[in-house]
Chains A and B, each alone.
Chain A
């Protein structure tokens, strides 16, 4: 389980996170929802120790993040994190060189699923294909937890559909996924748990299925209630 406990983060005088707490379980898709600038990316960066936090703590399966944790949890940022001059094959080789959890069989499976050519240079790829390579490099790691920052942002409808299909496939099954978005409609049906953020705090954390069954509300209904309250 990923436990985010009361984290605060300031940029200069501006408090971006003001005591954020939530949990994300293995085998579930947890979605951080909020408008742009609410601190969603900062939370993911903080979980991965890519930005310092002012207080609070993050635990992954009960432990603070350490070097071996990166074999257990990975982060797919909103832009690809490989050198543009690399070919897709070079990027996969880089991952294979440094990660014991790299699964080449799965990587090849994803290559054909996304219809990517390993000889293409990253710099020459379309926005949609770049997002798919970015996704591939994260999904082909045999990790327990996946963090994804706005995976659908700024890409065409067909690429969105392909990426959304990944969430219902065995590629994500049994893993804990934390995903951020400011456009919920694309993935509402995939989400197990929603965490609604505003002004650096968690406004509401709920199980999507429970709310659907008990209150007859969709995630968007709850968002409307929370933001318009």
Chain B
């Protein structure tokens, strides 16, 4: 009697394990398909697809999706693209994928004139000058992102030129200011 009961328990355990495994297997293919980056030339469609995927388990791939959307948008540069990316980032914030600060920094890195690389809390002498070359290198990278966002995606030559001029002016003024601040103590 005891042996029969033990056998039944073993069978039940095996069945339960198999069911769990099968259920897991049936979920996996869906997960893999959902995380394939959007394709095609239509930005709005790509954004919809990205939003769906990011809501259904692919949030860890956010950066990859965002970069793909940027690439797709380059195929059809227009001013309206800015609004599309703004909406997408606001949605990402609402969906809990990005903090407000991250959304703001990402948007401005690509579509703003000001440099998020220059965000700081302390004086130029105290905080920026000790890392002047790093700051300029970061700004230079950001300028490349602005070229993509403003020029190649939004066809906004005017604001890209302003961002580019701001880079040159900042470089000059920082050089003079850091020289005036004196050696780092």
Partners in one complex: no
